[in-house]
Structures are given as structure tokens and as C-alpha cells.
């Protein structure tokens, strides 16, 4: 299990195996390891890991217009707790925070 954060250091997701879960435990996406990206539940590009633990949207990703299909809903993984804020990294050229409508 790996905690993932936005650029401000706020806990926004958990990576459990190849499944992406909201802090509340709900399945919100999947990792496509071969491409190093995450997709949402509809199979669209969601983002990628930057600086080891930040889930961010890459404006120049070639996967933005690709639909990977539905990988299914793996249900609720449960709450793994809140690790707290890990610090602001500022802005990174070409990236923005992912939309977190699941929070």
C-alpha cells in the first residue's frame, strides 16, 4: 500500500496493488504499469506519479485521448488512515493536480 498526495502534500489516494482507492476506500482507478499511468473507472487517463508519491496530471501525456476500457470495480478497500500533510512541492512544469471529485 502506498499513500499518494497532491502538490500541496494533501493525502488524495492509496495505491493498493494495481488499484487506486480514495482515502475513504472506494475504488477510483487502476494503474497501467507498462505505461506508468493511472486510469479512472471509465478507462481514461487520470495521471501519473511524480516525485515518488504525488499523483499528478501530465498535460503532455500521449494517453489523454486513449480509452483503456473498464477494468471493473474492485470495491472498497477500507480506510488506511490519514498520514497527514507531507509538504508542498510547488508547481511542476507541465503538470497539475488531478481532479479529486472522489474526496
Across 72-99, average pLDDT: 96
Across 18-31, average pLDDT: 97
Domain ranges of the chain: 2-97
Task: Identify whether the C-beta of residue 89 lies closer than 8 Å to the C-beta of residue 97.
Answer: no
Q: How far is CA 64 from CA 14, 68, 89, 94, in A?
A: 22, 11, 24, 14
Task: Identify whether the C-beta of residue 85 lies closer than 8 Å to the C-beta of residue 6.
Answer: no
pLDDT of residue 46: 98
How far is 55 from 6, CA to CA, in rounded Å?
A: 6
Task: Identify whether the C-beta of residue 29 lies closer than 8 Å to the C-beta of residue 72.
Answer: no
What whole-number percentage of the chain has pLDDT above 70? 100
pTM across the whole model: 0.94
**pLDDT tens digits along 46-59:** 999 999 999 999 99
pLDDT of residue 103: 84
Across 67-82, average pLDDT: 94
How far is 101 from 5, CA to CA, in rounded Å?
A: 14
Amino acid at each position: 500500500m502506498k499513500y499518494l498526495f497532491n502538490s500541496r502534500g494533501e493525502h488524495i489516494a492509496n495505491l493498493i496493488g494495481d488499484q487506486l482507492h480514495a482515502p475513504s476506500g472506494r475504488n477510483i482507478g487502476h494503474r497501467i504499469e507498462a505505461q506508468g499511468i493511472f486510469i479512472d473507472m471509465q478507462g481514461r487517463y487520470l495521471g501519473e506519479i511524480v516525485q515518488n508519491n504525488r499523483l499528478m496530471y501530465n498535460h503532455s501525456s500521449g494517453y489523454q485521448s486513449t480509452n483503456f476500457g473498464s477494468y471493473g470495480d474492485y470495491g472498497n478497500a477500507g480506510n488506511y488512515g490519514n498520514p497527514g500533510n507531507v509538504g508542498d512541492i510547488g508547481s511542476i512544469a507541465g503538470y497539475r493536480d488531478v481532479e479529486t471529485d472522489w474526496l
